[in-house]
Structure 1
Amino acid sequence: MLRVIVLIFLLLFTYTTPYTQNQSFIDSLSKILTSDAFNQKKADACLKIAREYVFSDSLNTIKYTNQAIQLAKEINYWEGVIDAQYMVGVLNSIRGNYIISENIFKYIIKKASSIHYLAGKARGLNGLGIIADYQGNYVKALDCHFQSLKIKQALGDIKGMAKSYNNIANIYNTQGDYTKSLNYHFKSLEKEKKLGNKKGISESFDNIGKVYQGLGDFTKALDYHFKALDINEKLKYKKGIISNYKNIGTTYYKLVNLEKALNYSIKSLKLSQSTFNQGEIAASLYLIGLVYQKQARAVLAKKYLSKALSLSQTIGISEQIRDIAQALSLIEKTLGDYQAAYEAQVLFKQMADSLQNENQIKKITRLEATYEFQQEKDSVYFSTKTQQIALKKDIENRKITQVSTFIGLGLLTVLLLISFLFLQSKRKSNELLIQKSKQLEIFNKQLNIQNRRINASLKAAQSIQQAFFTYETKLADLFEDYFLINLPKDVVSGDFYWIEQINDQTIIVAADCTGHGVPGAFMTLIGDNLLDKIIKVGKETDPAKILEKLHLEVQSSLQQRITGNNKGMDAVVVTIERDYTNASLTFAGAKNGLLVWSNQQLNELKGSRKAIGGIQDVKTRFVNHSKILRKGDILYLGSDGLRDQNNKARKSIGEEKLKILISKIATLPLATQRAKIESMLFNHMQDTEQRDDILWIGVKI
């Protein structure tokens, strides 16, 4: 759905002034312009008037913004110039001139940096980030918002922090990472409640509702959308009400309650037209077209979707153009216009390819990790600084005590000598205290250096491990649908997976190595190398034999019969051989089992009670299990980290709860299944730490 209204709202909400035209307020500001006030005060008044006109009178907006720039430049009031230029960027954004807006925001960032105007720089980064988001450049958008957030945190700008959290959450929602999106939206809501900002609270409620839409929890989605609508109706805040109507209509559409969906989408369209908001008009037209399509009213659907596409292309919103083109392709096909259907499908493919690529998602993950790591360093620095201030204050208090004691003892001449000796003792104590303080400072510096070296080593280890395990592309090539959840406890992981196609057989391995962190990561590299040797070089495809050979190779590589070393891994090995209609499955497990969704039932194939590596009972063998699979069956495999994760009451998720969840969601798309599993995990482990590496894979036959 189109998000231009959110763009404009977020750009304007950088300021604290409400953007609804108030004639009495404008008149009071106009009096300042005709008074003998200084140019700085006049420039600020012009800018406030421009903000009042921004949605109702573009000519007056331009007039007063230019006047503000001219007045500010005459007295070198560069903060005023920057704030006025921001309004120019906003106005161009409303008109859909994103390239012009982008250049203006870049100028603001450069100029604000040169005069050390941090609030202006944060504002420019905010504008640039939102423009990049709506042009589909999510990496650049996230980079800008994290930079803006860091400045706002340094300034103690709670309102600005709330908006940055909201912007970051919206990007994750667009990418389908609903767990992270909810996390940042709730951070934003917390700040808005702290400020008592009702518009901000309603916006957070509305956005949280949209995330629950993505998770398929439509009851919660409606609950949050109606909470937002209740606030906005009391405030008579039209722009918020438009968004609420649209999102409520969208939710009812997904619930296939088409009568209510049409009712709310028409309400959204009428109110959008009364405010001349092109972005929301396009979004409402699109939603109405979808409802008519669902009702099999193809002619009406085409009419509204065509209007929505034309307006969206004028504004230049990549995501909405993609979605409308896909819907129009189906409508044209229904109406028998195959040429138009083909052209719409080509447009859909072009827009989809430009928006989605694996490199952007990887860059976003690295960017967030860098930001969180910087937050940790800043926190350590702040803690050390606080200790130093406390120590300095303690020394000052001691000196005050010395002076007071000296004055008191000076009045008692009889005790003069005793006082002198006492002060000498105190002076030595202070010198010793100062010496210890310096030693503590040196120790802290050494500790920081060691921390940086350790972190650098861990980052290098992470890069090496990631370079070894690049199998996700093969998952996409070999299976119709899949999901992958890979969450290391530390920087590097002790869990890994391996996949290869040998002739007509697809082999998947999921392994959980002894330990986590660096020791576990070393075992993953050993395991990956040995699997290459056994399967790629040795051409072994029998799962039980693969596990037996892997067990012997680990024993040999680590010289376990000599050293007594007992490290190894638990593993699952699956071989799939396809024919024209079915597929045959052969499975063997070292302690871990395999879950199979087939014929609307979830079955478990248990692994052997024998691990890989260490000194094991030679009588216990790895055993193969075979099963015929049909198209649409799903395999689930991974480590025990997911089911063993505890909550703050120290209760684990457990195998039974995991099976119940999978049985409920197995018919959903695998991307949605991943979101559901992650949501369950995130809710379960609130207020506690991750206890082990987590690896969980789902593949559809």
Structure 2
Amino acid sequence: MKAIHYFFILCLLTASQAFAQNPRTVDSLQKALKTELSDRQTVDTYNLIAKEYRYMDSAQVVRYAYQAIKLAKKIDYVPGIADAWYYIGFVNLIKGKQAKAKQVFQKVLRIAQKGDYKKGMGNAHNGTGALYWFRGQMDTALIYYQKSLKIREQIEDKEGSASTSVNIGTIYKYQGKDDQAIKLYEKALRIERGIGNKKGMGNCYNNLGMVYTDQGDYLKALTLYQKAIKIREETKDTLAFITTCNNIGSTYTRQGKFSKALKYHQQAVDMAHAIGDQGNLAVNYNNIGIIYNYQGNYVKALEVHQQALKIREKLNNQQGVAQSFNNIGYIYKVQGNYAKALEFHRQALDKYQQLKYKRGMAISHNNLGIVYELQEHYTKAIDHYQQALVLEKQAHLNARITETYLGIGRVHLLQKAYTKAQAFFEEALKMRKAMGEQAMSAEAQVNLGMAYYAQKNYTQAQQYLEQGLQAASKTGFLLFVKYGAEYLTKVYQATNQPAKALENHILFKQMADSLLNKENIQKIARLETQYTAQKREDSLKQVQVQKDQLMKADIRRREVTQKATYIGLGLSGLLVILLFVFYRTQQHHNHKLNQVNAELKESYTTIQANAQLIDHQKTNLEQALNQLKELDRFKEKMVGMIAHDLKNPLQAIIGFSQNAHNHPHIPAIHQAAQRMYLLILNMLDTQKFTNAEIPLKKSTQSLSQLGKTAVEQVQWFAYAKNIQLKTFLNQDIQLPLDHQLISRVLLNLLHNAIKFTPQNGRVSLQYELDTTTQEIKVMVNDNGEGIDREHQQAIFKPYHQVNAHQGSTGLGLAFCKMVVEAHQGQVGVISTLGEGSTFWFTLPLPAAAVTLPQSQSEYAYTPISTIELSPADKAYLIPYIDQIKSYKIYHFTKIKAILEQIKTDDRPQIALWKDHLQKTIKVANQQQYEELINLGS
């Protein structure tokens, strides 16, 4: 996880841990000012208001702090003066005015020492420690924090002691001393819990989570982050909430869960924008850029990394600047610009070495090793990898160690030392799986596949490459989709599988084109040019300001000298001085005017060039639009031809399999063929009736019977995922409808629900009769992943897909809408993300509709969870299970022969277990198969 936790910087400065203005607190304090308070109480109240505003409104901090200073001086109240100046110093540090902040903290110390105000001394040392932390001078920061802690413990300032303990723990963390950091964080947590300071507890949970994240214990880290975020929601602690969102996002990134990571980082960005928190904005831009790197979107990655770098340079955050250099260097590396990549990685390493930040140094050495590896300078590559490994082991950075192992393994692979390479890859894969980085294991699996391919062990190569490609595709890790597809092509060619070789070669070319196309390289070059030009412009402006200041100072000195020299010369001398000043002013104005004219000419030339470029781009876009329209017409024609060609063979398959029961897989084949036939009909009818009315062949039908038939036709698909199918039919309703079209609507909705419901989920079909509106409402419910509100209307449009990776035509729901509206009904969806969906449609109820009683519910099968085998049952099954374990799930005949030997008389639970196992083998559900075997063992 390449994340700088800017929140650390903020928590270094305050003893209270309150990171966001609380409007209720401010209101109550302002009301208190209107009551009869003593002068000292009034000063303390001014300071408390300044304290509440310090992260949100620097102007209000200064306003109330100066009111406190004015009144405290009048009554000679030293604590009030020292506290007010401390909050002013705090604001200066947050605003990046480090020199001014240092002066103010020194002033606080002098005032506190003069008045023997111990708490003020502790605050001054704490603030000075934060200043040196911000500059990256960790050793000096540690000295001041220890001074602060000593004072705060002497005066039994528990809140202050907890805050400083966290600050010292943070330095230990960045020095790689995790054990000492954890001890101090836990010490602070005990103190905060003892005094009931929830905000302080949230801070401690957050910091502990970051240590465990670096150690690769992501489950423990996420548990601690969730505790922190719960407290921050309760206390409405906005700034701290942003920090924890960032940390959760970074942890999900390490696990390869990019969509979850982006969700948390974007939430943090929006909140940071809202409160003007530039530091956290830079951190989250940086981490979003890392995700874009993983996904191969280098243009977006460079754009957000440059935004982060610009903010960090403005804040003089050297550690953050170094991190941005590393990330920008990574982009140039994958684009093949190795010289530029080396330049950025070396700058990052220099800064980290100055800061004595081991983790950053390790990352930079690793990045340099990768570039040298790509340049085939293997000795230099190994040298940098080894330096990275030493630092990572010292700092217990397990997640980083795996990346270095992979780098060393790649170099050995390139040097044809296959045994060594394989050993490093296997160790990296083992560590990543142990840390729960299942998705991020794709890199190690692909590398292992490459090693086995080099040794011509094609079976092992195929296994690891397919696993790696699957994991990389699932997480959007495009770079390793590319590498996996490239080497799978070679494996399939070597094993004489030309069709699969072609399929993977096409995937490889798509990924290569996506990652390294000319347009992306040009965009990256433009971004670099814009950034350099902006930086040059900012520098020139600064130089010009300095020149203007020097010129003004020079003029002032000349005027003073001339006035002193010629004061006795009277009016004639004064006239000479005025003429000289006028000449110099006119000369300055002429110089400025010439500069403006030159800039206008340059701007005019640029505008002309841009206009020509826009005209050229407009022509290209018009040509591309015409080509796309032609391709769209060709696509529609081709889809219709293919669908018609597939329709007749599928009807034959359905017919042949309908009455054949000799083979155990015939029902599965029959239902699968029906599903394919349904998809083809959706394609044909959606295309056919998009601009035409659907002809209906109505007859009086039992809606309940149509539902039962539809459930039977999807039963195999539900069983394959261990999904519980359930129907709620209070009464049977006879009404006129086109039974073929409505049956297809029910099938589409049921298939859709099963597809997006996870293993062991639930799907139900139910009807509701509404006599008020004279219509019947049909509902298909599931507890699947749910649909975002923004997609709920669009999903009924042709070809719309909520998730493109699910691989569907996007026509089923569009067909349902056409049919239901042709029956004068309505269709819709009610859905909540993470909880499931209810797709519904209504049909008008005629006055003569017939209703008959019906069973309330019926189950399509008994869930595995209801099977309860007694010890005697398990003892009876053991010899049979031992025989079954010697076969794979696809050895159907042999396993069936063993099951036939099992007697189920007077053993109802064994009969249920046996029936489930037979069904599981038929659908080849490996997960259920293992559950049932374990249940009987």
User: Contact conserved, 2:210 with 2:247, CA < 8 A, in 1?
Assistant: yes
1:399-424 deviation per Cα after TM superposition (whole angstroms, max 9, x unaligned): 88899x79xxxxxxxx9957999899
- Cα distance in structure 2, aligned partners of 1:363 and 1:32: 53
1:285 to 416, 421, 445: 445
**Alpha-carbon separation, structure 1, partners of 2:529 and 2:459:** 49
Alignment-derived partner of residue 9 in structure 1: 2
Matched, 1:28 2:187: yes
Aligned to 1:225: 385
Which amino acid in 1 is paired with 2:319? K
Aligned to 1:294: 454
Is residue 322 from structure 1 mapped to residue 482 from structure 2 by the alignment?
yes
Question: What RMSD in Å do the two structures reach over aligned CA positions?
Answer: 3.9
User: What whole-Å deviation, never above 9, does each CA across 1:595-632 have from its counterpart, x for those lacking one?
Assistant: xxxxxxxxxxxxxxxxxxxxxxxxxxxxxxxxxxxxxx
Deviation at 1:157, TM superposition (A): 1.7
Residue identity matched to 2:383? D
**Does structure 2 conserve the Cα–Cα contact (< 8 Å) formed by 1:329 and 1:344?**
yes
Aligned to 1:251: 411
Q: Among 94, 114, 129, which residue is 2:274 paired with?
A: 114
Structure with higher strand content: 1
How far residue 384 of structure 1 moved from its aligned partner, in angstroms, is 0.7
Report whether the alignment pairs 1:177 with 2:333: no
Q: Which amino acid aligns with 2:2?
A: F
Read off the aligned partner of 2:211 and give its amino acid letter.
Answer: E
Distance in 1 (CA, whole Å) between partners of 2:330 and 2:220 is 32
TM-superposed deviation, 1:97? 2.6
Offset at 1:246? 1.3
2:188 partner amino acid: L
Matches within 5 A, 1:598-617: none
1:191 to 339, 345, 351: 351
Shift of 1:428: 7.6
Report matched runs for 1:455-494 at 5 Å. Answer: 455-456=606-607
Q: CA deviation at 1:207?
A: 1.1
Deviation at residue 250 of structure 1 after TM alignment: 0.4
Instruction: Tell me the amino acid that sits aligned with residue 347 of structure 2.
Output: K
Give 1:252 deviation, angstroms.
1.8
Aligned to 2:238: 78
Task: Give 1:254 shift.
Answer: 1.2
Rounded Cα–Cα distance in structure 2 between residues aligned with 1:460 and 1:179: 34
**Alignment partners' CA distance in 2, 1:192 and 1:456:** 43
Task: Tell which deviates more after alignment, 144-153 or 175-184.
Answer: 175-184
Please list the CA deviations of residues 349-397 of structure 1 after superposition, one character each: whole Å capped at 9, or x if unmatched.
Answer: 4544543433222222222222222222222111111212333444566
Q: Which of 138, 147, 168 is equivalent to 2:307? A: 147
Question: Residue by residue, what CA displacement relative to the aligned partner does 1:69-105 show, whole Å, maximum 9, x if unpaired?
Answer: 4554566543222212212322332333322322332
**1:44 aligned partner, one-letter code:** N
Once the two structures are TM-superposed, the CA of residue 247 in structure 1 deviates from its matched residue by 0.7
The aligned residue for residue 377 of structure 1 is 537
| One-letter identity of the residue aligned with 1:50 | G
C-alpha displacement of 1:119: 1.1
Give the match's secondary structure for 1:96: coil
Match of 2:262 among 78, 82, 102: 102
Contact 2:265 2:288 in 1 (8 A): yes
Shift of the 422–30 alpha-carbon distance from structure 1 to 2, 3 Å rule, reads farther
Structure 2 spans left out of the alignment, 5+ residues: 10-169, 621-937
Per-residue deviation, 1:294: 0.9
CA contact (8 A) 1:210 1:247 kept: yes
Return the match for 2:212 from 53, 58, 64. Answer: 53
Contact 1:128 1:141 in 2 (8 A): yes
Match of 1:206 among 360, 366, 379: 366
Please tell me whether Structure 1 or Structure 2 has the larger radius of gyration of its CA atoms: 2
Q: Distance in 2 between matches of 1:97 and 1:208?
A: 27
Determine the C-alpha separation between the residues in 2 that align with 1:314 and 1:56: 21
Percent identical pairs in the alignment equals 26
Classify 1:53/1:389 alpha carbon distance in 2 versus 1 (closer, same or farther; 3 Å): same
Structure 1 residue 426, shift from structure 2 partner: 7.0
Preserved contact between residue 233 and residue 241 of structure 1 (Cα < 8 Å): yes
CA distance in 2, matches of 1:384, 1:46: 48
Kept in 2, the 8 Å contact 1:242–1:280? The answer is: no
In 1: Cα distance, 2:189 partner to 2:504 partner: 51
Ranges in structure 1 where 5+ consecutive residues have no aligned partner: 1-7, 407-414, 470-701
The whole-number CA distance in structure 2 between the counterparts of 1:217 and 1:460 is 46
Partner of residue 595, structure 1: none
Write the deviation string for residues 514-540 of structure 1: whole angstroms up to 9, x where unpaired. Answer: xxxxxxxxxxxxxxxxxxxxxxxxxxx
Aligned mates of 2:489, 2:324 — CA distance in 1? 37
Residue 330 of structure 1: how far off its partner (Å): 2.5
**Distance change (3 Å), C-alpha of 1:123 and 1:400:** farther
Partner Cα separation in structure 2 for residue 338 and residue 320 of structure 1 = 22
Residue number among 391, 407, 427 corresponding to 2:551 in the alignment: 391
Closer, same or farther: CA 273–432 of 1 in aligned 2, 3 Å: same
Equivalent in the alignment of 1:611: none
Given the two structures, how large is their TM-score scaled by the length of structure 1? Answer: 0.56
Name the aligned partner's letter for residue 81 of structure 1. F
What secondary structure does 1:34 align onto?
helix
CA–CA distance in 2 between the matches of 1:394 and 1:188?
40
The more displaced of 372-381 and 94-103 is: 94-103
- Which one-letter code corresponds to 2:406 in the other structure? K
The change in CA–CA distance for 1:235 and 1:46 in structure 2 (over 3 A counts) is closer
Shift of 1:450: 4.3
Give the distance between the partners of 2:297 and 2:209, measured in 1 at CA. Answer: 30
Map Cα deviations across residues 645-664 of structure 1 (whole Å, 9 max, x no partner): xxxxxxxxxxxxxxxxxxxx
User: In structure 2, what residue type is equivalent to 1:298?
Assistant: Y
CA distances 1:33-71 after superposition (whole Å, capped 9, x unpaired): 314476654443332133233355555544543454455
